[in-house]
Chains A and B, each alone.
Chain A
């Protein structure tokens, strides 16, 4: 019983009763997925605060080693990308595939810019022997647990970076679909979903930046 490919702009998939039901389901699924992201990062934030309480001096030393200017630059870049992403969602909802495409491209450029800055930060740290793995750590730390701070830093920002990469992949998927004008006033679930994902990824950075660079 092969299912006929439906034109999602005007019709719903076979197992739904209406386009609205399908849209709401997709939206709720995305929100639930975001809940899993929050729980996952939540565990890491717990580790951050636990070790910070235990080894406060090392957290001070580590925070000072990070370049807050680069961190702030990236914060601005991500905030701007969140703005363009919101505009992309808005334009799709109005049925303007082309305009939305433009905003998605802006967002993607920001995402790449973020990764470039991150690349320079990471290589700088690695160069100074601050990468906390066997064989690569050679930094002359002033406090005993600086290495643990760098562990937490690399794990949290690294996982966040992976999310940015996934976001970029999603953007390319959206670009292809927007180019084919696959969305309409009544069907924009995918753009909205990626938008939500992107906002959460930004939100996590909004917490990471002060916790890592400023405290």
Chain B
């Protein structure tokens, strides 16, 4: 077995040992740097956009440049940050350890997923040198089959990143089914694993539809075949159906893992057994199932029939049920818990507050009449930032701080961590509450100029975004700095967690466990 003092980080040396590693923990660390890198880049574009919007008149970007920056911001954040964020980064590290395995089922495929993400991202970003793309991250036809050449590259890049996502999901499903330690029944799995399970189902079943749709756009552009071109009998709305058939489940691919992180953090930092384990576990599956039936809520104004609109509206509201089940169970877990307000917990409380707002405004948008009114306004922009940023990304940071000591063997600076988390909370709400207001008053999205009446809201939103950016920059800086400079710890279980990863050495050895554990009880057994 391993000699004392060795762990997965120092057991091999040199850049090559990282680029060819098939250890899930090392791959997770590689995702850490790539995803945070993309995150900073996507954030840079966000700040450029917000700064341009400081005044109603154009400042330093014209309409074209604005659209390009907006498309890049969206595509980067969706395909390169939030979709791979929690599963590929935190899931990769935690899932095998949490179920008591030495690695994922297909370690080489796992490495390939990382290379595909990098490759797809590079191809997509090269488009910058071909003049950029101005379609928005949704690539709606027929515009996307006619506009700038670079669309082909971005779309192809997104296709490759989709493959990466599929393979991660496939790997996780098999790992969960086949590699659990003796005694680790499905109903003894940590809730984070359950959330990754539901996510993986969506990744495997939904992403292929996006894949073929993106390939059809490429074919449309290269051959001019016209499958979505009304001039040639094609139907552009079919594209929207295909696109949202993936992209609605995709928003749950982004947020369900965050819900898993939150379940872990709430239990640990309330020092209390999670309330409603089964309800939380099955509600993840419930969300995954319903997610495939609601895509039409993105198309209320696309000319679909009233009947279809009504059905999609009702089905969409159903998503509120499993989501609310989770939120109530989390609150019940907090109730009478011995709550510790460490950094991961502050991020998780951010999640609870922000995601609830995102979820409730989602119900507004699910109502057809309201949606027709606020469609394509900043109300929608604010809504999905509350779920994606206030939900998914906040969950990612909660998890990053939670598992940081286990991943790195060092402790981050607690005071600074808390300050960053609070800054993000303030900045986030200052940025997006004004957007709800101006959206409900009719400020359309995706414009680089606007009517003067919206100026105060835009100004507030832009200054809010600077606080938000400062908070996130600080949060990332702390993590990266303390990865090398943080105080060393050897404590196996600094937070008093009850899942398997807290029984391993800090940081874990190459094969995670000296001996595969035999599980005898449920997770979250606090006494």
Interface residues of A (CB under 8 A from B): 1, 14-17, 21, 24-25, 28-29, 32-33, 35-37, 39-44, 47, 50-51, 54-55, 58, 132-135, 144-145, 147-148, 151-152, 154-155, 159
Please state if B178 and A24 are interface contacts (CB–CB under 8 Å): yes
Please state if B174 and A28 are interface contacts (CB–CB under 8 Å): yes
Please state if A36 and B207 are interface contacts (CB–CB under 8 Å): yes
Assembly CA distance A28 to B225 (angstroms): 37
B516 at the interface (CB under 8 A from A): yes
Total interface residues on B, CB under 8 Å, equals: 45
B37 at the interface (CB under 8 A from A): no
Assembly CA distance A127 to B78 (angstroms): 44
Please state if B226 and A132 are interface contacts (CB–CB under 8 Å): yes
Assembly CA distance A43 to B102 (angstroms): 37
Instruction: Tell me the total A-B contact number using a CB cutoff of 8 A.
Output: 106
> Which of B174, B209, B234, B516 meets A25, CB within 8 Å?
B174
Measured CB to CB, the nearest residue on chain B to A50 is: B238
In the assembled complex, 12 residue pairs joining A and B whose CB atoms fall closer than 8 Å, in A order, are: A15-B104, A25-B178, A28-B177, A28-B178, A47-B227, A51-B233, A55-B233, A134-B224, A148-B227, A148-B232, A155-B216, A155-B219
> Which of A32, A55, A152, A155 meets B170, CB within 8 Å?
A32
Q: Which residues of A contact B216 (CB under 8 A)?
A: 155
Q: Which residues of A contact B235 (CB under 8 A)?
A: 50-51, 54
Interface residues of B (CB under 8 A from A): 2, 11-12, 101-107, 109, 166, 170-171, 173-174, 177-179, 204-209, 211-213, 216, 219, 223-227, 232-235, 238, 242, 245, 510-511, 516
Secondary structure at the B interface, as helix, strand, loop or mixed, is helix
Please state if A148 and B233 are interface contacts (CB–CB under 8 Å): yes
Measured CB to CB, the nearest residue on chain A to B171 is: A29
Assembly CA distance A154 to B224 (angstroms): 13
Please state if B227 and A151 are interface contacts (CB–CB under 8 Å): yes
| 9 cross-chain pairs, A with B, having the tightest CB-CB distances, nearest first | A134-B224, A133-B223, A15-B103, A40-B208, A145-B233, A39-B208, A15-B102, A148-B233, A36-B208
Q: Which residues of A contact B227 (CB under 8 A)?
A: 47, 148, 151-152, 155
Secondary structure at the A interface, as helix, strand, loop or mixed, is helix
Beyond A36-B204, A43-B213, A154-B225, 19 additional contacts (C-beta under 8 Å) are A1-B11, A1-B12, A1-B510, A15-B102, A15-B107, A25-B178, A28-B173, A29-B105, A29-B109, A35-B204, A36-B170, A42-B209, A50-B235, A51-B235, A132-B223, A133-B224, A151-B226, A151-B227, A155-B216
Q: Which residues of A contact B205 (CB under 8 A)?
A: 35-36, 39
Measured CB to CB, the nearest residue on chain B to A158 is: B219
- With contacts A25-B174, A39-B205 taken as known, whether A14 is within 8 angstroms of B102 at the C-beta atoms is yes
Please state if A148 and B226 are interface contacts (CB–CB under 8 Å): yes
Please state if A43 and B212 are interface contacts (CB–CB under 8 Å): yes
Shortest beta-carbon distance from B205 to chain A in Å? 6
Please state if B226 and A147 are interface contacts (CB–CB under 8 Å): yes
Q: Which residues of B contact A16 (CB under 8 A)?
A: 179
Shortest beta-carbon distance from A204 to chain B in Å? 13
Assembly CA distance A10 to B238 (angstroms): 51
Measured CB to CB, the nearest residue on chain A to B173 is: A32
Q: Which residues of A contact B516 (CB under 8 A)?
A: 17
- With contacts A15-B103, A47-B238 taken as known, whether A36 is within 8 angstroms of B166 at the C-beta atoms is yes
Assembly CA distance A183 to B213 (angstroms): 39
Q: Which residues of B contact A154 (CB under 8 A)?
A: 225
Measured CB to CB, the nearest residue on chain A to B96 is: A15
Shortest beta-carbon distance from A156 to chain B in Å? 10
Please state if B174 and A32 are interface contacts (CB–CB under 8 Å): yes
Assembly CA distance A39 to B226 (angstroms): 22
Q: Which residues of B contact A42 (CB under 8 A)?
A: 209
Shortest beta-carbon distance from A84 to chain B in Å? 28
Assembly CA distance A179 to B121 (angstroms): 39
Please state if A148 and B170 are interface contacts (CB–CB under 8 Å): no
Please state if A25 and B105 are interface contacts (CB–CB under 8 Å): yes
Shortest beta-carbon distance from B20 to chain A in Å? 11
- With contacts A50-B238, A148-B227, A148-B234 taken as known, whether A29 is within 8 angstroms of B107 at the C-beta atoms is no
Assembly CA distance A47 to B104 (angstroms): 36
Please state if A40 and B209 are interface contacts (CB–CB under 8 Å): yes
Q: Which residues of B contact A39 (CB under 8 A)?
A: 205-206, 208-209
Q: Which residues of A contact B238 (CB under 8 A)?
A: 47, 50
Shortest beta-carbon distance from B23 to chain A in Å? 9
Output the residue of A29, A51, A58, A155 with the most chain B CB within 10 A. Answer: A29
Shortest beta-carbon distance from A145 to chain B in Å? 4
